[in-house]
Amino acid sequence: MALHVMEEANRCLGCKKPRCREGCPIHTNIPEVIRLLKDGRLNEAGWMLFENNPLTTVCSIVCDHEHQCEGHCIQGIKGMPVHFSVIENYISTTYAHQMVKGPAPSNGRRVAIIGAGPSGLTIAVILARYGYQITIFDSKDKIGGVMRYGIPDFRLPDAVLDDFAYRHLELKGIRFRPNTTIGGAINLDDLFRDGYQSIFVGAGLWRPKTLHIKGETLGHVAFAINYLASPSAFRLGEQVIVIGSGNSAMDCARTAIRQGARNVTVFNRRDKIAASQYESSYARLEGVEFVMMKSPVEIRDDGVVFADNELDEEGKLRAVPGSEKLYPCTGVIVAVSQELGSNIINTAKGLERGRSGIIAVDEDGHTSRPGVFAAGDIAHGARTVVHAVAAGKRVAESMHAYMQSLPAQESSAYAEVPVAEAISASAQAEQLL
């Protein structure tokens, strides 16, 4: 492994104007990281990676390298690009075991992070470096969000996220409150009452989008986000149809094979796969078949009815009348993206909605309510892990600046509640017992 890594590192030209860095959404200083490695300064290279990207061990595995750093490498113009993903993974995973530093001195200020996905985890780590007391709330029992529950273990092992939880959360004194949904029993007002000076909302998009066709409620149908969270809970049989062609669809198809399906076919409305070439090539390698230019019409017990698609004179897709055909299968996975499923917006006061019902924010993550910030899927729609990290870095600095601007009397670790109000609240609670 080390020999292969050094071979890749030695291929780097150390460009003065590194195109690879420009192609990286978080602008990792790739030439410098490689130079440090070649000089035998692996720990310094690892420190640089983690300072720039707390989720570097994750991104080295799941980033869309072919369109980002490696896709911009000058070596790739006439030949093979430098595979920085391999270099980054080796450095970050090796250096991670050296990370045993404890929490920074507390500055006495509390921050609430709603959602343990990539943006929330990034913000938690950055603000912990400043000494903030961080509590992460998540509806799931473990950290990771879509990284854990939406990406199969064979692509992103849970061990990577478990190690992150230990190195970055436990050692830094960041608290994690699992199985807790904000917007239900606890709302934003409760968090401010308990002394959190700033709140980050990073709940993911957990509600699957539907096809709105007959048969979606049948027992042999699964939505991608639900299937990937717990594939062994579903019984889809040996012949599975996946509707959709994004990276999640590829994950579903490859997972179905690992769950015992003998024939898996991906159906797509268009003539081009939405997933990256890297992901689709792995699916093909594992035996997944692809059928293009088909629109689902109806799901039945014994299969799915599809109609042929064609392009009209304006280049728009339309179904060909009379082309409907039943394609037999034992199970169906609908993989056509997700949408907002959180109840936060409906229960929170003062949060304005943006497009598609998601939270409206400015470029630095400010919402319409002072002290509340948002980023990631709930603010920008479904995007990649590295884009969520990039947004998290901007928002973390914005939250830090906001809290530093607050008057001194507002910086106590726990907000005071008038005695009469506290007694009244306690009496109301006792009446419910």
Check which CATH number belongs to the domain holding 91 and give it. 1.10.1060.10
Residues 218 and 327 in one domain: yes
Q: The tokens of 391 are what?
A: 């947004």
Gap between the Cα atoms of 100 and 98, Å rounded? 6
Does residue 101 lie within any of the structural domains? no
List the CATH number of the domain containing 295.
Answer: 3.50.50.60
Query: pLDDT: is 313 or 162 the higher one?
Result: 162
Gap between the Cα atoms of 380 and 374, Å rounded? 9
pLDDT in tens, 406-425: 986 554 434 444 444 544 54
H or E, element range at 338: strand 338-339
H or E, element range at 198: strand 196-201
Q: The tokens of 430 are what?
A: 């006792």
Nearest to 148 by CA among 182, 176, 111, 184: 176
Q: What single-letter amino acid sits at 319? A: A
| pLDDT of amino acid 419 | 46
Q: Which one of 35, 68, 96 terminates a domain? A: 96
Alpha helices in 274-357, H assignment, sequence order: 277-285, 344-347
Task: Say which residue the tokens 């319409």 belong to.
Answer: 368
Beta strands 331-334 and 133-137 are: unpaired
| Mean pLDDT for the stretch of residues 240-255 | 97
| pLDDT of amino acid 415 | 43
| pLDDT of amino acid 408 | 66
Residues 301 and 365 in one domain: no
pLDDT for residue 75 is more than 60: yes
Q: The tokens of 347 are what?
A: 């229960």
Tell me how many helices (H) and strands (E) the chain has: 18, 16
Does residue 300 lie within any of the structural domains? yes
Lowest mean per-residue pLDDT among 133-142, 212-221, 346-355, 405-414:
405-414
Task: Say which residue the tokens 């394609």 belong to.
Answer: 327
Range of the domain at 81: 2-96
State if pTM tops 0.85: yes
Residues 216 and 328 in one domain: yes
Query: pLDDT: is 360 or 206 the higher one?
Result: 360
Q: Are 238 and 275 in contact (CB under 8 A)?
A: no
| pLDDT of amino acid 339 | 72
- Average pLDDT along the chain: 90
pLDDT for residue 292 is more than 50: yes
Does residue 363 lie within any of the structural domains? yes
Does residue 427 lie within any of the structural domains? no
Q: Which one of 69, 96, 123 terminates a domain? A: 96
pLDDT for residue 43 is more than 80: yes
Residues 156 and 238 in one domain: no
Residues 222 and 275 in one domain: yes
Please spell the DSSP secondary structure of 39-63, one letter per residue.
TT-HHHHHHHHHHH-TTHHHHHHHS
Nearest to 29 by CA among 48, 4, 43: 48
H or E, element range at 113: strand 110-114
183: pLDDT confidence band, cut at 50, 70 and 90? confident
Q: What is the DSSP letter of 25?
A: T
| pLDDT of amino acid 121 | 97
Q: What single-letter amino acid sits at 403? A: M
| Mean pLDDT for the stretch of residues 83-112 | 91
Mapped onto helix, strand or coil, the DSSP state of residue 234 is: coil
Residues 398 and 354 in one domain: yes
Task: Say which residue the tokens 């979606």 belong to.
Answer: 216
Q: Which one of 276, 304, 336 terminates a domain? A: 336
Does residue 57 lie within any of the structural domains? yes
Q: Give me the number of domains the chain comprises.
A: 3
